[in-house]
Structure 1
Amino acid sequence: MKRIRIFNENAVLQRLFFATAAVVVVAFPSSAVGQTSSDAHTVTFTKDVAPILQRSCQRCHRPESVAPMSLLTYEDARPWARAMKHRTGLRNKPE
C-alpha cells in the first residue's frame, strides 16, 4: 500500500516558525566568550530580533492569522523563546 502524504498547512507553518526561531536563538548568544563588555555587541529585540521575525515570521504570526501565536512584539515572542531554542536546536525546518 502506498502512503499518501497530505499537505498540512499548520505543520508547515510550525516548521517555518521554528526554523526562523533558530536565527533568533543565534542572535541571543549565551555569553560573549573572549570579549570584554566594551567590545561586545548588546543584542536587543528591536535592533536584532524583530527584523528577523518581521522578515520570516510575522506574515503568519500576527493576531487573527493562521499561526497559533503572535510574534509582533517582545511581549508576544518572549514566552516562546525556550520553545524556539529547543526546536531550532533539533534543526526542525519546513520542507
Structure 2
Amino acid sequence: MTETDVVARTMGELLSAPPLEPADDFFIRGGDSLRAVELIARLSAAFPAQDGTPDENLGAALLLVLFEDATPQALGDAVTRHRAALAAG
C-alpha cells in the first residue's frame, strides 16, 4: 500500500466514505478544520518517527500541504518526500 493509498483510506474513514480518489479534495468532499486536525494526527501516527512515536515534523509538513492542496496525492507525496529526507540523513 502506497503513502497515497493510506492517506486516501484515512480521509475516507474520517468522512465516513470509501477511500478518496488521488485527486479528490478533502474539503470539497466534506472535510472541515476539525477533521483536518484529526487527519494530521492519524497520518502522523500511521507514519511514525524512527522511535515509533507520531512524527510531529511530518504533521507540520502535512498541515502546510493540506491547506494548499488537500488531495490524497499531494499529502502522499509530502509523506514520501519527508520519509526520503529522513532516510538521507
Please give the range of the TM-score, normalised by the shorter of the 2 chains: 0.3 to 0.5
Higher helix share: 2
When Rg is computed on C-alpha atoms for both structures, the one with the higher figure is 1
Using the size of structure 2 for normalisation, the TM-score is: 0.34
